[in-house]
Structure 1
Amino acid sequence: MSDGWTDRRGRHLINFLVNSPEGTFFLESVDASSEVHDAPMLADLLQQRIDLIGRDKVVQVVTDNGANYKATCKLLMERIPTLFWTPCAAHCLDLMLEDIGKMKEFSKPIARARQVTTFIYRHGRLLDAMREKTGVEDCLRASQPLIVLLRIVDGDERPAMPEVQFCMEYAKKKIKENFPIRGKADLLKRILAIIDKRWEDQMDQPLYGAALYLNPNKYFDLKTDDVMAGKLRSAFTEVL
């Protein structure tokens, strides 16, 4: 796993970590302040760490969702065909929620809700009144299933790989169920378009499908969907 950040002295540092069934371990931090952060440079940095660990022991590289890292890891996968890149799932979901929050139907209620959030949390008895007066119900219907998924992928209790694909399909199903009201079809369509665009652009990797296929307790819940079952089998075959 790789993550870049800038410290108080203005240095751009890139952290490298390793995750395995034993847990997550810090490998090292590199000061890349004097480097141009283009795809070849970042690919070289990652490849050096992968070779240090052993190519046969590294299955996946996880980075942030920036365009430079997307180009970097495309180059890296060409160099090491057994490697898969996936961006940060939590970041992808954050971006989804931001996009949904920018929709004109939601932006004003969210702005109002932010103004009273602190007050409401200090006076819990007013929560029902807030729900009645602010009109944020549709926003909650659209975002709550994604927030549940965000908690799963951002948690440390268990590996989220087998959960990601299943939980995203389940979240979309719940969102569809949350908008049965007439006149909401267009709103639902636009919400799902935002989710699909972010997901397909960043997270639609065969590794997630293969992980779900190899976890029957999740996979069999979706097996009745012939299209999904075929997609998961194809993902597993591609990874294998």
Structure 2
Amino acid sequence: MVAHQPSDDIKDHGTFSNRKGGRVRCNYCQKEMQGLRRLKFHLGGVKGDGTTCLKVPANVRELYQNEKFERKKHKYYDLKRDMLLLDPLKELPQKRNCSQRSYNFKGTRPESDSLIGISTANLTSFQEIMYSTTGDRRSEYKSYQEVKGSVPQAEVTELQDYVKRTKQSWSSTGCSILLDTWRNGQGQDFVIFLVDCSEGPIYLQSSNVSSFSLDSDAIQSMLNKVIEEVGAQNVVQIIACSTAGWLGTMEKQFMEKCKTGFWTVSASHCVELMLEKMALMDSVQPVLEKAASLTKFMWKQKDSFPLLDIKDPFSEGKSAAIPFMTLENIVAEEEKLITASEWKASVWASTEGKMVYKLFRLRSFWSEARMVLKASVPLVRLLALIHRADKPLMGYIYETMDRVKEAIKMEFEGKTSEYMPFWKVIDEIWDKHLHSPLHAAGYYLNPNLFYSSNFHLDTEVAFGLLCCIVRLVRDENMQDQISQQLDEYLQARGDFEEGSSIRCRDKPPLEWWSKYGTECPELQRFAIYILSQTCDGPSRYGLNKEMARKLLTSEMNCVDQQEQAQLRELTFYHYNLQLLYSKKHRGEGNSCYEDLGGE
């Protein structure tokens, strides 16, 4: 009797548990993992890429064991992150339509204009990049004629209209240039330039800065060219994704040599820095270490505790919030952990098990854990708020940081000796990296806060507002007009009188200024410029940097000008499709303003 031949389609051996996030579940052992390529290694028993499936049929295992040999042979299998097969948008569902697009480089649709250059698919560099990015060993890439039919013209037109509309909005709302930098394993430095505004983000360009990353003048020259391309009059700020490398040395020079705009650091990155420093405190670090040991042990013994929601502590994740979120989950499950009937003597047979059991019985651990959460939970909640924000937070970040500190103080019942060490950590990052005059001006120009009884005008706020007027408005006559109109805003005269009511000032700041600021057009334009800006960096868009690196590397090795242009075109469309989808997806939930308010 002939044995049943297993399917060689990897999708027949796994089920997407979260298609947007790329999570897939093994059909045999039900373990979840990130991406189909990792499922192959799981089935084939490839070491170094997660656990091996113990329930997979032998003929299926044999089918995918060859993956480990291909993985070793191919030099591009050093990707740190998986992508959905042949889907550079990574998060998109397979259904193809204008609202839920799936950009597949294997052409199947006839008679439609190509998204990329007509001969890009024939380029050796293009085939190398796409082959290494998808990791699909058995697939053959189509010719350019077939690729030409892979993307509907409606999607191309929609993307082009989006980019054109977004660029046109810069003159009325201003924009922020986001710097997404990283260094690969070979020590090469790269940067992706995005431009963000209230209309949405677009990808502008990317550069390999390895040869001049230590030359601040060369970096400044590069930034000047980008600013010139966007329009110096449109650029309100440059947002650095971190404070590491050349980003950490450019702020002073940029502010001195550029007479317009500001250099700021991503708000989410700064909150992560606060959590990182908090995790190193003497009163916090031992608690997080104990929680990590507990979680790892529980994960190893997860079959003994089916009632508990145990997260995989070995999964990828670099956020500084993860240890605190893990601790919060443990404390939430305290009663289950102590009283659950799943505790069995066999679990504690090992030395590690006995140590964990002893930890459970210590009241001091639980009291220390709650102490850590009093200080960290407000910051973790702020980080989540920033990441899911669907509207600009420039008008709120200044007040929100104060509320975070007050929340921590309240958790410690106002005991200075207990909350002040955590305040010092927050203030250090705020003063050194996060705070910008833009934040103070946004606070002042946010009517929801300005007309509330809690508004506080101090020297920092007044100086920030003045600094923004001087740097962003070059015409002195217009500066004077804005100053005069600020008095109308302060005294709530004219349309501002109606707008200052509780009912009216609850509108989103941009909507409020569009409606009630018409009598003071110079101030209205200035306020919209400020309040339209994001506080966060490019990390919220989750761009696949590996794709840009391979494109840039190929571009460096390519002498043909036409091929270089086609590679740049490919990059431009690839990232802007992802950003367009991200914009649509981000706007589906409830507004982040529901968590913020003046009273």
What TM-score do the two structures reach when normalised by structure 1? 0.87
Q: CA deviation at 1:42?
A: 1.9
Match of residue 291 from structure 2:
113
Deviations 1:9-64 (A, max 9, x none): 65321111100111111111101222243422222211110011110010100012
8 Å Cα contact 1:43/1:73 also seen in 2: no
8 Å Cα contact 1:113/1:134 also seen in 2: no
Match of residue 413 from structure 2:
180
1:239 maps to which of 456, 468, 473: 468
2:310 maps to which of 118, 122, 131: 122
**Structure 1 residues 66, 11: CA separation in 2 closer, same or farther (over 3 Å shift)?**
closer
Match of residue 230 from structure 2:
53
Q: Which amino acid aligns with 1:12?
A: D
Q: Which amino acid aligns with 1:76?
A: F
**Any residues of structure 2 matched to 1:215-234 within 5 Å, and which?**
215-221=446-452, 223-227=454-458, 230-234=459-463
8 Å Cα contact 1:61/1:86 also seen in 2: yes
Match of residue 163 from structure 1:
396
Q: How many residues align?
A: 236
Identity of aligned residues (%): 26
The structure where strand makes up a greater share of residues is: 1
1:225 and 1:163 mapped to 2: Cα distance? 14
SS at match of 1:56: coil
Instruction: Confirm whether residue 86 of structure 1 aligns to residue 264 of structure 2.
Output: yes
Q: CA deviation at 1:165?
A: 0.8
* Shift >6 Å, 4+ stretches: 123-126
Q: Which amino acid aligns with 1:158?
A: K
Q: CA deviation at 1:186?
A: 2.0
**Any residues of structure 2 matched to 1:32-47 within 5 Å, and which?**
32-47=209-224
**Structure 1 residues 114, 225: CA separation in 2 closer, same or farther (over 3 Å shift)?**
same
**Structure 1 residues 67, 206: CA separation in 2 closer, same or farther (over 3 Å shift)?**
farther
Q: What is the RMSD of the two structures over their aligned residues, measured on CA atoms?
A: 2.5
| Structure 2: gaps (5+ residues) | 1-177, 299-307, 312-328, 338-359, 470-599
1:36 and 1:168 mapped to 2: Cα distance? 33
Match of residue 142 from structure 1:
375
Q: CA deviation at 1:106?
A: 1.1
Q: Which amino acid aligns with 2:396?
A: E
1:175 and 1:221 mapped to 2: Cα distance? 23
Deviations 1:195-221 (A, max 9, x none): 111110111211111011111213344
**Structure 1 residues 127, 222: CA separation in 2 closer, same or farther (over 3 Å shift)?**
farther
2:397 and 2:455 mapped to 1: Cα distance? 19
Q: Which amino acid aligns with 2:462?
A: R
What TM-score do the two structures reach when normalised by structure 2? 0.37
**Structure 1 residues 224, 3: CA separation in 2 closer, same or farther (over 3 Å shift)?**
closer
8 Å Cα contact 1:152/1:160 also seen in 2: no
1:190 maps to which of 411, 417, 421: 421
8 Å Cα contact 2:237/2:261 also seen in 1: yes
**Structure 1 residues 199, 73: CA separation in 2 closer, same or farther (over 3 Å shift)?**
same
Q: CA deviation at 1:187?
A: 3.0
8 Å Cα contact 2:198/2:391 also seen in 1: no
8 Å Cα contact 1:47/1:76 also seen in 2: no
> After alignment, is 84-93 or 213-222 more displaced?
213-222
